[in-house]
Structure 1
Amino acid sequence: MSEPLRVLITGAAGQIGYALAFRIANGELSPGKKVILHLLEITPALGSLEGVVMELTDCAFPTLQGVVATDKVEVAFKDIDVAFLVGSMPRKEGMDRADLLKANGNIFKVQGEALSNYAKPTVKVLVVGNPANTNALIALTTSSKLSAANFTAMTRLDHNRSLAEIASQLKVTADKVKNVIIWGNHSNTQVPDVSNAVVELDGKTVKVTEKIDEAYLKGDFVSKISLRGGAIIKARGLSSAGSAANAAIDHVKTWIHGTKPGEFVSMAIPVPANQPYGIKTGVVFSFPVTVTNGVIKVVEGLPVSEWLQGKLKATEDELQGERSTAFGALGLA
């Protein structure tokens, strides 16, 4: 009998954590495999976390072998296979980006150290809490026993939004659209790109750029995807939770089980040493990737237009700025 999958969710009583917990407990990450959930919360939220555990118990999931609910990192991070780092401080009124980077940087500094000290050396870490790319970089930098291969940040939500928007424009279901790309930062500077995307229409596979006007794809499409989170907050009064949890599960499922032949997805990863597409090392940057046997590899050699090159530079510059601000505030090299 195989060992159960130990899965950590930080901020587990929050909206995204709550949405994640039940789907993971029901075996969605790796169908048929038993799961032990590790749920971490801050001490004042332990009462709410107890309620989540009660609900998980009442679901009687056959795949849920156990639940560890705690406010102690040494307990939460012990022997985990997968970490969903969701918990982070939201931006408050009057707080500038530097303050946010420092506040969240301290959280992810502690969690990076905990991953290094307690998690399995093969742990797969997905940072969801914003600013996700830079938080992932901080966690990596403070995880002395782990490597870049252990760390990712989430741009799958933006990827899924792109699939859905193109599908809506062409009046097909989202599964008919493949190979959209989110480049760069999970922020307003991200670059949603469909120059390599294809769609299945009437039994034939065609390029999306042959079916949708270029002006839309470089204009309204880009702004709609990059500003979608804010639009959802305005509409429901709360940030994306169900869709964010869904994207996080999609991301880790792909990491565990791999991409399909001929398809790639978007993941934010530490920039590899060969600096694909001219992006400099030292940041976590979203690229088109394939995954085989748990190994993430950037899809290289895709054509980059002058328009796209300019966009890539802007989002790279933002990430370099975030790194400088956060590392300066935290005293990291």
Structure 2
Amino acid sequence: MAKEPVRVLLTGAAGQIDYALVPMIARGVMLGPDQPVILHMLDIVPAAEALNGVKWSVVATTDVVAACTGVNIAVMVLVVANPSNTNALILKEFAPSIPEKKHNLSDKYPDVNHATMKTPAGEKPAQELVSDDKWLNGEFITTVKQLGAAIIKARKLSSAVSAASTACDHIRDWVLGTPEGTWVSIAVYSDGSFNVLAGLIYSFPVTCRNGEWTMNKVRE
């Protein structure tokens, strides 16, 4: 039996990131190839003309009520725009009707301590295979963190595809769940675990089930 369509709301829809994100969602990268989706695209009135560029088989509007009507994936709020930690904290403070467990943000930091690489002999720790802790913990991390700025400098445009791909992966884990026995790093509000000040938005190891995340305190 075919699944019921899921309505997904994208804000800032005329922007570069959403323009790259739309085809990824449409072909099932985010919610799976067997999940029909109906996209609702919202942007501000000055962007209405640009919004027409993505207005095909979607709800594209500058009206907030029209954009949000019937939406399934919007109460799950993913913050992408920098400074993402600050923006997520502002959202948490000024949108109190959205439960804290529905706020997440997408940002980049390579966790070299837990990264693995696939080899013919199975998955191996990245640190073991690279055998250069100085490079992994120095130049590599710096390069990844500054990748967005480097792309903007080279293209004179945002690193939209990278951000869109990250957002897709993030929502997929959040909605469909993390594989059994695994966890992912997601920036969520702190409850004081891992000696991080309570109330801050910070990256923690979490597992996801049924659209909810749970902090993996075994890693603490």
TM-score, with structure 1 as normaliser:
0.61
What's 2:92 paired with? 140
Q: Which has the larger radius of gyration?
A: 1
Separation in 2, partners of 1:281, 1:140: 13
Separation in 2, partners of 1:26, 1:198: 28
Separation in 1, partners of 2:179, 2:92: 28
SS at match of 1:20: helix
- Residues 259-299 of structure 1 deviation map (CA, whole Å, 9 limit, x = unaligned): 1123322211111x2x2210011221112222122221223
C-alpha displacement at 1:52, in angstroms? Answer: 1.6
- Residues 47-84 of structure 1 deviation map (CA, whole Å, 9 limit, x = unaligned): 2212321xx34xxxxxxxxx22211222222332223x
SS at match of 1:194: coil
What's 1:312 paired with? none
Match of 2:169 among 228, 240, 250: 250
What's 2:119 paired with? 201
C-alpha displacement at 1:46, in angstroms? Answer: 1.0
How many pairs does the alignment contain?
A: 217
What's 1:219 paired with? 138
More helix by percentage: 1
What's 1:74 paired with? 65
Alignment CA distance shift 1:79-1:135 (3 Å): farther
Task: Return 5+ residue gaps in structure 1 as ranges.
Answer: 58-66, 84-122, 159-181, 183-191, 304-333
Separation in 1, partners of 2:128, 2:27: 41
Structure 1 residue 29 and structure 2 residue 30: aligned?
yes
2:184–2:206 Cα contact (<8 Å) kept: yes
C-alpha displacement at 1:139, in angstroms? Answer: 1.5
TM alignment of 1:114-263, pairs within 5 A: 123-155=75-107, 158=108, 182=109, 192-212=110-130, 213-263=132-182
C-alpha displacement at 1:5, in angstroms? Answer: 1.0
Alignment CA distance shift 1:204-1:29 (3 Å): closer
User: Partner letter of residue 125 of structure 1?
Assistant: V
Please report the RMSD computed on the Cα atoms of aligned residues, expressed in angstroms.
1.9
What's 1:266 paired with? 185
Separation in 2, partners of 1:248, 1:74: 24
What's 2:208 paired with? 291
1:134–1:283 Cα contact (<8 Å) kept: no
Task: Return 5+ residue gaps in structure 2 as ranges.
Answer: none
Separation in 2, partners of 1:205, 1:34: 33
Separation in 1, partners of 2:213, 2:188: 9
Separation in 1, partners of 2:174, 2:47: 30
C-alpha displacement at 1:2, in angstroms? Answer: 4.8
Of all paired residues, the percent bearing the same amino acid is: 42
1:233–1:239 Cα contact (<8 Å) kept: yes
What's 2:45 paired with? 43
SS at match of 1:193: coil
Identify which of structures 1 and 2 has the higher relative contact order when contacts are C-alpha pairs closer than 8 Å and 6+ apart. 2
Separation in 1, partners of 2:116, 2:20: 31
Separation in 2, partners of 1:240, 1:288: 25
SS at match of 2:19: helix
Separation in 2, partners of 1:141, 1:300: 25
Structure 1 residue 278 and structure 2 residue 195: aligned?
yes
Structure 1 residue 18 and structure 2 residue 9: aligned?
no
Separation in 2, partners of 1:207, 1:28: 26
C-alpha displacement at 1:207, in angstroms? Answer: 2.2
C-alpha displacement at 1:7, in angstroms? Answer: 0.8
- Residues 2-58 of structure 1 deviation map (CA, whole Å, 9 limit, x = unaligned): 5421111111111111111222233433232222211111112212212321xx34x
What's 1:93 paired with? none
- Residues 84-123 of structure 1 deviation map (CA, whole Å, 9 limit, x = unaligned): xxxxxxxxxxxxxxxxxxxxxxxxxxxxxxxxxxxxxxx2
What's 1:102 paired with? none
Runs of 4+ that moved beyond 4 A: none
2:206–2:214 Cα contact (<8 Å) kept: yes
Separation in 2, partners of 1:141, 1:3: 33
